Amino acid sequence: MTSTLTQDQRDLVDAVGEFCRREVTGELRRPHDDALYRKMAGLGWLGIAVPESYGGAGRGMRDLVLFLETTACHQAPIGGFATSVIAAAAYEKFGSDEQKRRVLTDFLNGEVLSISMSEPGAGSDVGALTCRAEKREGGWVVNGQKTWCSNAHLAEHILLVARTSTEGGKHEGLTMFSVPAGSEGLEIRGIDTMGGREVNDLYFTDCRLPEDAVVGVEGRAWPQLMAGLNTERMILAAVMLGTARRAFDDTVAYVKQREQFGRPVGTFQALRHRLADHATELECTSLLVHDVADRIDADPGTLFPREASMAKLKATEFAKAMALDGMQMLGGYGYATEYGMEALLRSTVVSTVYGGTSEIQRDIIGKSYGL
């Protein structure tokens, strides 16, 4: 953890860390534990980045990063939090007063939120969305399929991005909608992955929404999405920074006690030097993620596409490399569920894909230099 924290931030890290050491046990090896999540809601931590005017703590991006990094490092099973924060930020920025009151209150009380953009033919190319919402009889009717929707099976509210017009460019005519998870005409099917069932296909068949289901301005979902990129990328960077730290700590602990040829394997230069490199990379990643968070707090109305993409790219790629090398250094135990390194590897591999692939992040960074 960096040395530039305020006393309040240190107290937050200490409190969250102590809570996780006490509450997160081996039996909680699942992506999301509702009971634990609601305990955190009761402590006010879920609303750490929600403005005080809506019942949150009103703290900034740095504090949110610290919370995410700490919970990820302790492997707290609160997988629903990341998507909830991303969706909550959109409701806070663009939602109506009633949407903010209803959705943010549910979030602060421990309900999960989800956001649905990807489709079978539209992943990195968000402008290729075809799931359609049509005005009809004083409301909206949604038809189409969405995919890879994280936590939709847990969610109380789903923030849907659908096409409402085919006029203009491909990024025009997209609209955000607030969809209650139990809406008639919505079917949620889990997708089996190497990480379990954390993502879903969503099928909309004449799913009726009220006229006031629109979040923000009709046809303006693209600029609204762009306004949330800082939040999404920093959340993912923080989670992977904490996960990388856990993989590093677990690897160091193991090579200190595992003996071969009469001494701990960590004393062999081959492993000692690899861990020295990883330690350096961990420090660099931490400094980058925290620095970008501080820049966002200093100028919250400004987008930092280059810096946020750098943070997401660096943290996810390092976390994947650290977990993979950790598995190698643990030998056969790295493959065993008892030691948990295989779970860290599974969670890090997908991090370079969701929330904008590493290739997309590199493209954004390159374009920011006029390339």
Token representation of residue 327 = 């598995």
Is 232 one of the annotated active-site residues of the chain?
A: yes
Burial class (CB in 10 A: 0-12, 13-18, 19+), 258: middle
List, as one string, the DSSP characters of 5-24: --HHHHHHHHHHHHHHHHH-
**Beta-strand pair 155-163/263-264:** unpaired
Cα–Cα distance between 274 and 356 in angstroms, integer? 29
Cα–Cα distance between 318 and 284 in angstroms, integer? 10
> Which residue is catalytic, options 111, 198, 232, 317?
232
Q: How far is CA 122 from CA 127, 189, 254, 348, 367, in A?
A: 7, 18, 43, 23, 21
Q: How far is CA 217 from CA 98, 300, 307, in A?
A: 15, 21, 28
Hey, which residues are catalytic here?
A: 232
